[in-house]
Amino acid sequence: MKKIILASVLSLGLITSLSAYELNGELGVKWTGFKTEKKVPVSGTFNDIKLDIKSSDNLSMFLKSSSVSIETSSFESKNPVRNTSIISTLFSLATSKTIKGKILEVDEAEKKLTLEVTMNKVSKLVPMMYEISNGNILAKGTIDILDFDMKSSFLTFAKKCADLHQNKSFSDVNIEFTIPYK
């Protein structure tokens, strides 16, 4: 009888641990901006990303426990000239040195979430769709830089890049993040 009880407790523990969500690697963040009339995409990431997330047996609770802080000076596009241009113009305001994010809502049935993004002391709710595949949660959405009171820095950026962008820079930016879990 003791063996049956022990086996039941161990089995229950194993089943519970299999259904738990726990961070299994580093958060991936990707942005995609657009240039020229043809809306040519330019993508990259940030090198200094701090994620705080708590393990949970529930996907919604796992995601809503997360908060992220991104240093804008760590902007990375694999092009040093572009990095310097964007950091010195778009993120030149003292209040835009850090981007913060927090998942506020998760709709598991519709595979939607709401991310609160704070940049330049302005917070906006960003609707995102997500999918789960191969131990990763991938969420995608779009922000508009102008929504974060960054018109002057965006215009400075657009002017500085006018020749490279053929006089067309877009303020909308696709954002996505990947949370690896086990």
pLDDT recorded at residue 162: 83
Q: Name all domains of the chain by residue range, CATH numbers in brackets.
A: 22-180 (2.40.128.110)
At 112-123, the pLDDT tens digits run 999 999 999 999
Determine the longest span between alpha carbons in the chain, in angstroms: 80
Rounded CA-CA distance 92/73 in Å is: 9
Q: Cβ(117)–Cβ(126) under 8 Å? A: yes
- Whole-prediction pTM value? 0.86
Using pLDDT thresholds of 50, 70 and 90, give the confidence band for residue 3. low
User: Per-residue pLDDT for 131 more than 90?
Assistant: yes
Q: Cβ(59)–Cβ(100) under 8 Å? A: no
User: Per-residue pLDDT for 29 more than 70?
Assistant: yes
User: Per-residue pLDDT for 2 more than 60?
Assistant: no
Q: Cβ(52)–Cβ(26) under 8 Å? A: no
Higher per-residue pLDDT: 162 or 69: 69
Counting every residue written for the chain, the total comes to 182
User: Per-residue pLDDT for 9 more than 90?
Assistant: no
